[in-house]
Amino acid sequence: MGIDPGSRITGYGIIDVTKNKTCWVNSGCIRTPDEALPIRLKSIFRGLSEIIAEYQPTEMAIEKVFMHRNPDSALKLGQARGTAICVVANQDIPVHEYTPREIKQAIVGKGNATKVQMQHMVRVLLGLDKFPQEDAADALAIALCRAHLRVSLQNFEQAVSNQTLVSSKNKIDLKAMNVFKRSARKRRTRL
């Protein structure tokens, strides 16, 4: 499950990942009422709780906070993000965080991709008939980023176990590999 948090619109995207194949499951937006921030955060909490109960994701990915031009907007975004993380963490679902640049790099191949390029690649990668709404597309991109990085880590783990990467020039931190190994054990993952 990918989440694109916002105090007014929170996008979500759910995909299934089986080996190297990703399939769209659902995506959409939670639109909060035009009321005080606590009421909007409550709406996000309830909406995500319902989605998690229905689709039972096994992992969640979310964008890391970055500083907006407006500090008030950044604080509201941080609160919406914190609400989303609390909902997921309360269900004991692992949370993965990625910067906007990492997400764009994983989906489009360049860290300064535009919103239009991101929407296009999400549509292509998931075989969708039409472009998803912008916030839903961002959430699907976040989920796809996690899926791509997960596959890369699994391939890396396999290469290390086959000792194809081990040489006198390459020193691999096996402690870090054990962390990747534990996170990559499931065959099918719902993000």
Instruction: Give catalytic status of residue 138 as yes or no.
Output: no
Residue of 54, 59, 63, 129 marked catalytic? 63
Spatial CB neighbours of 63, under 8 Å, sequence gap ≥ 6: 4, 5, 81, 97, 98, 99, 100, 103, 138, 142
How many other CB atoms are found less than 10 A from the CB of residue 23?
Answer: 12
Instruction: Give catalytic status of residue 4 as yes or no.
Output: yes
Spatial CB neighbours of 114, under 8 Å, sequence gap ≥ 6: none
Dihedral sign for Cα 104, 106, 111, 114, please. negative
Residue of 34, 72, 135, 173 marked catalytic? 135
Instruction: Give catalytic status of residue 173 as yes or no.
Output: no
Spatial CB neighbours of 79, under 8 Å, sequence gap ≥ 6: 7, 37, 41
Spatial CB neighbours of 148, under 8 Å, sequence gap ≥ 6: 106, 107
85, 100, 76, 125: which is closest to 1 by C-alpha?
Answer: 85
Q: Which residues are catalytic?
A: 4, 63, 135
